[in-house]
Structure 1
Amino acid sequence: MSVRKLAVVVALSCAAAVAGMPAAAADPVAACASARVATALPAQTPLLDWSENVGYDGRGNLWVARIYRNEVQRYDNTGKLTATVPVAFPGAIRLGPDGLLYVVYGDAPSSAVIPGGVVRFDPDAADPRPEVFAAGFAMPNGAAFDAAGNLYVAVTGSGVVKVGRDGVVDQEWTARAAGLGANGIAVRGDTAYLTTNASPLGRVLSFPIDAPERRTVLADLSTGAGIPDFADDLHVDADGVLYVATLSGQLVRIDPASGEVCSVLNTEPMTAVVPVPGRTDELLAGTERGGILRIRLPH
């Protein structure tokens, strides 16, 4: 568990104790058809190489957020490191509608004092130079664009922040999306999907983009022992099925249409998942150890 996640879990546990809300065992997530996993990129220095998030640019290069190295790294399709960009405590990496890469920064408890935000840069440049796109967020982590080009940032300290294409925060919308524990966010059509780790840990919910206060709980995740699991980042596919990475190493599949919740993989602690370009059956996952996993989903 990282310093970032440990701080969140401890704080939430203390809050629950003060409120007189003991942690309760939950039903374990059921297993379903198993995914296959292999190493796509090994960790050069375990833990120091912690891969907090992963994303692709428009040319199919893979970008990895190395939170403890304070940089994001670019790899070509052979796995060769081709560029590094300095970003303080980087989180989500997302390709914007303008072809630029947007990277959350300040994904650490210190951003409550020195606020984080989002930088952007040209991923095709030989020496990419990040510029601040939006700032003032207390421990931002996840991010997702909608079809109109608005960016939604999951901020642990305040909920979800909506940023327009001009970098200006929509304060009215953001106030309606307030809430502690926000972690990962994904958008499909007019619906947003969010992982939260407030009370309880491991909650996955959805809400209409135009009504962020109308939240529906999709699942409360737990380990095989029935202990609440930490839900990290997530991906929603073209069919509306979610894949959630967890601290215990589960990859949880959630089908909002049918209500089915099951684990397709149990491996090392994962941080984020991203689809492989041109493939509907493959994901890449970041890990706390630092390696990148290639996951072949069951048919």
Structure 2
Amino acid sequence: MAPSAVAAEPIAACTTAQAATAVPAGIPMLDWSENVGYDAQGNLWVARLYRNEVQRYDSSGVLTARVPVEFPGAVRLGPDGLLYVVYGDSPTSLLRPGGVVRFDPAAADPKPETFVSGFTMPNGAAFDAAGNLYVTGMSGVIRIRPDGTVDTDWTARAETSTANGIVIRDRSIYLTSNGNPLGRVLRMSIDDPTSRSVVADLSSTLPGIPDFADDLVDRDGILYVTTLSGQLVRIDPDENAACAVLNGQPMTSVVAVPGHPDELLAGTEGGAILRIRLSR
């Protein structure tokens, strides 16, 4: 079922969030932070796309490990306690396909092993309650079973243009998509991925101009979406209502801070990791 269009109305401001630097920026572009995630020990993992590695930081922001991963994308903790990292998030995957690696995040010197491969420009990732892993890419969403095999039937029904960020809540998948148009946030049913609807079409800081929607996170039923124009957009998917809580530098990714319901961390193109405190 094709989703119905929602006009990209100007994003109004709502209660402002506060941002501070959690991890300073490094070398421009080289330290681009493509994605962020936490392990079970509370360590932060940052995918440094152009360094071809993921980095581990402790709670005080000290770098404690570097793990080689080619063009890393999403970093997600699996139900087995291992860390799963998308790789091949680059046009080079047209010739050298990407996939997902996994490793023990608690190891002193983690060693990645290939979990699944064969994808073109994989980017986002999320687990459902049954342990299936969903990976976004150029052609849509790929469902991977816990044993590492691809559910080809489900995946064929989940085709959508240039899927990017992904988060799962209950039996719904929320996606950012930047095909036609830019800046679209979609809801897709896990039970029937052909059933989907538009949650929001985001405009940039220039009213009426579409934005590029990157990553997103679910916080108690509210979505927070990062954009290329530097917005952090709050979306109530039940009301199809969106407003910007933060405007600043381009943000590539976002993750909820464990144990802090009013805090998020966001990755940036400049490499800094931002700690964002949401207003209650």
Indicate the percent of aligned positions where both proteins have the same amino acid.
68
RMSD, matched Cα: 0.9
Task: Please list every run of at least 4 consecutive aligned residues from structure 1 whose deviation after the TM superposition is greater than 3 angstroms.
Answer: none
Measured in 1, the distance between the counterparts of 2:120 and 2:271 equals 25
Q: What is the letter of the counterpart of residue 29 of structure 1?
A: I
2:151 — aligned with what?
170
Shift of 1:189: 1.1
| Corresponding residue to 2:94 among 112, 121, 126 | 112
Q: What is the letter of the counterpart of residue 92 of structure 2?
A: S
Per-residue deviation, residues 239-283 of structure 1 (Å, max 9, x unmatched):
211000000000011101222211100010000100111011000
Q: What is the letter of the counterpart of residue 167 of structure 1?
A: G
1:252 — aligned with what?
233
Q: Tell me the SS of whatever aligns to 2:182.
A: coil
2:32 — aligned with what?
50
Per-residue deviation, residues 48-72 of structure 1 (Å, max 9, x unmatched):
1000000000000000000000000
1:135 — aligned with what?
117
Measured in 2, the distance between the counterparts of 1:135 and 1:259 equals 36
Measured in 1, the distance between the counterparts of 2:47 and 2:231 equals 21
Q: Tell me the SS of whatever aligns to 1:141.
A: coil
The TM-score, its normalising length taken from structure 1, stands at 0.90
More helix by share: 1
Measured in 2, the distance between the counterparts of 1:55 and 1:206 equals 22
Which residues of structure 1 form unaligned runs of 5+?
A: 1-24
Measured in 1, the distance between the counterparts of 2:192 and 2:67 equals 36
Q: Matched residue pairs, number?
A: 273
Report if the CA contact (8 A) 2:205-2:229 is conserved: no
| Corresponding residue to 1:212 among 190, 193, 203 | 193
Per-residue deviation, residues 277-297 of structure 1 (Å, max 9, x unmatched):
101100000000000000001
Shift of 1:298: 1.2
1:180 — aligned with what?
161
Per-residue deviation, residues 149-177 of structure 1 (Å, max 9, x unmatched):
00000112x10000000000000000000
Kindly indicate whether residue 267 of structure 2 is the aligned counterpart of residue 286 of structure 1.
Answer: yes
Shift of 1:224: 2.4
Measured in 2, the distance between the counterparts of 1:72 and 1:257 equals 35
Per-residue deviation, residues 76-105 of structure 1 (Å, max 9, x unmatched):
011110000000000000000000000000
Q: What is the letter of the counterpart of residue 49 of structure 1?
A: D
Shift of 1:26: 4.0
The worse-fitting range, judged by mean Cα deviation, of 257-266 and 247-256 is 257-266
Measured in 2, the distance between the counterparts of 1:138 and 1:272 equals 20
Shift of 1:47: 1.7
Report if the CA contact (8 A) 2:171-2:189 is conserved: yes
Matches within 5 A, 1:58-69: 58-69=40-51
Kindly indicate whether residue 21 of structure 2 is the aligned counterpart of residue 39 of structure 1.
Answer: yes
Kindly indicate whether residue 243 of structure 2 is the aligned counterpart of residue 272 of structure 1.
Answer: no
Measured in 2, the distance between the counterparts of 1:191 and 1:27 equals 24
Kindly indicate whether residue 172 of structure 2 is the aligned counterpart of residue 191 of structure 1.
Answer: yes
| Corresponding residue to 2:214 among 223, 228, 232 | 232
Q: What is the letter of the counterpart of residue 116 of structure 2?
A: A
The TM-score, its normalising length taken from structure 2, stands at 0.96
Measured in 2, the distance between the counterparts of 1:232 and 1:259 equals 18
